[in-house]
């Protein structure tokens, strides 16, 4: 008999193994009448509920199935190594010293389709060399950060260089990608053109840029900000007053709290990088 009962038990119970080898809960002091009101048709003669509770047992599922679910390993996925080139939009000359943050995220699926927890699948940064080339090593990540339902989001990249307008790239194939689509970068092997910007457009981009860098900060995300120090420093130099506290200053303001949570002191961590970003 295969029966699924969506019930929450608010009474004392203990697990047992019945003579059929099934994992069950022996309910203590439960009146089957309570469950008659939960399941339509449960009061009919020979009802499933009364048969199941005839011996005071509520069958939850087979022991074999539960042990299998508990033993399911995390499924690994990989974003292959990525190589790109960044050039000036006007004359095509390479742009050295540009900092790029490359990341992918996922959200927990919910019954309503809204809300749910947020997870960073991977985050990495690179600095363009004299030829304007960016190289990102391959990124291995857990493809199922949530137990039942993981909704992937398109990988993204934020490119920052003083004197140029910030550029944000996303995969464009579809709004909600599959795992395979979230594990490839559509701009791999391509040249990206950066547009020079005056102060006004730069100020307009400040708030949005800080919104992206803030995705690296969160007590439930571990210490992800440690993976992208140059990006956070560059954003701080380019946008010291974005209309809200920028990401680096948020870290510094909460230095003791992050240290207490096991990430160490942000101020001490960023100190060696201060001379690397103009």
Which of the four pLDDT bands, split at 50, 70 and 90, describes residue 221?
low
DSSP state of 272: G
Please give the distance of CA 152 from its chain centroid, rounded to a whole number. Answer: 8
Spatial contact of 108 and 149, defined as CB atoms under 8 Å apart: yes
Report residue 160: phi and psi, to 5°: -130, 130
pLDDT of 200: 72
| Calpha distance 173→166 (Å, rounded) | 22
Would the pTM count as exceeding 0.75?
no
Encode pLDDT of 232-254 as tens digits.
999 999 988 877 789 999 999 99
Which of the four pLDDT bands, split at 50, 70 and 90, describes residue 222?
confident
Spatial contact of 234 and 240, defined as CB atoms under 8 Å apart: no
Q: Residue 81: which of 189, 171, 158, 172 has the closest Cα?
A: 189
Q: Residue 255: which of 227, 225, 276, 230 has the closest Cα?
A: 225
In terms of Cβ atoms closer than 10 Å to its own Cβ (0-12, 13-18, 19+), residue 79 is: buried
pLDDT of 189: 97
In terms of Cβ atoms closer than 10 Å to its own Cβ (0-12, 13-18, 19+), residue 240 is: exposed
Q: Residue 8: which of 38, 32, 28 has the closest Cα?
A: 38
- What's the number of CA atoms in the CB half-sphere (13 Å) around residue 102? 26
Q: Calculate Rg over the CA atoms of the chain.
A: 27
Encode pLDDT of 132-173 as tens digits.
999 999 999 999 888 778 899 999 999 999 999 999 999 998
Please give the distance of CA 173 from its chain centroid, rounded to a whole number. Answer: 20
Encode pLDDT of 108-133 as tens digits.
876 555 567 889 999 999 999 999 99
Spatial contact of 151 and 113, defined as CB atoms under 8 Å apart: no
Q: Residue 247: which of 236, 261, 257 has the closest Cα?
A: 236
**What are the sequence ranges of the domains in the chain?**
13-70, 76-273
Is a pLDDT exceeding 70 seen at residue 66?
A: no
CATH of the domain spanning 76-273? 2.60.40.1120
Whole-number Cα distances in Å, 248 to 69, 108, 266? 41, 27, 9
Encode pLDDT of 67-106 as tens digits.
444 444 558 899 999 999 999 999 999 999 999 999 999 9
Alpha helices in the chain (DSSP H): 33-36, 48-52, 63-71, 179-182, 199-213, 229-238, 247-253, 255-260, 266-270
Q: Residue 166: which of 130, 202, 126, 214 has the closest Cα?
A: 202
**Mean pLDDT score, 7-36:** 39
Give 200 or 231, the one with higher predicted confidence: 231
Please give the distance of CA 149 from its chain centroid, rounded to a whole number. Answer: 13
Q: How many CB atoms lie within 10 A of CB 247?
A: 26
Give 55 or 173, the one with higher predicted confidence: 173
């Amino acid at each position: 008999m295969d029966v699924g009962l969506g019930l929450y038990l608010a009474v004392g119970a203990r697990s047992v193994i019945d003579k059929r080898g099934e994992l069950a809960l022996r309910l203590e002091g439960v009146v089957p009448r309570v469950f008659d009101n939960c399941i339509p048709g449960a009061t009919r003669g020979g009802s499933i509920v009364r048969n199941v509770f005839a011996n005071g047992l509520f069958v939850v599922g087979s022991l074999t199935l539960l042990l299998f679910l508990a033993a399911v390993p995390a499924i690994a996925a990989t974003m292959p190594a990525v190589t790109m080139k960044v050039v000036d939009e006007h004359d095509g000359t390479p742009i050295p010293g540009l900092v790029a943050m490359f990341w992918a995220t996922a959200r927990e699926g919910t019954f309503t389709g809204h809300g749910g927890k947020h997870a960073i699948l991977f985050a990495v940064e690179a600095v363009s060399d004299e030829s304007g080339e960016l190289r990102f090593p391959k990124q291995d990540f857990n493809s199922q950060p949530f137990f039942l339902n993981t909704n992937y989001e398109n990988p993204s990249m934020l490119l920052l260089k003083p004197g140029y307008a910030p550029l944000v790239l996303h995969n464009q194939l579809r709004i909600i990608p599959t795992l395979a689509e979230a594990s490839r970068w559509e701009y791999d092997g391509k040249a990206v053109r950066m547009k020079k910007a005056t102060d006004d457009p730069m100020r307009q981009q400040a708030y949005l840029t800080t919104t992206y860098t803030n995705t690296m900060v969160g007590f439930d995300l571990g210490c992800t900000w440690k993976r992208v120090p140059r990006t956070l420093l560059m954003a701080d130099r380019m946008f010291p007053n974005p209309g809200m506290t920028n990401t680096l200053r948020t870290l510094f303001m909460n230095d003791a709290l992050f240290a207490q949570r096991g990430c160490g002191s942000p101020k001490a961590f960023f100190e060696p990088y201060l001379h690397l970003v103009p």
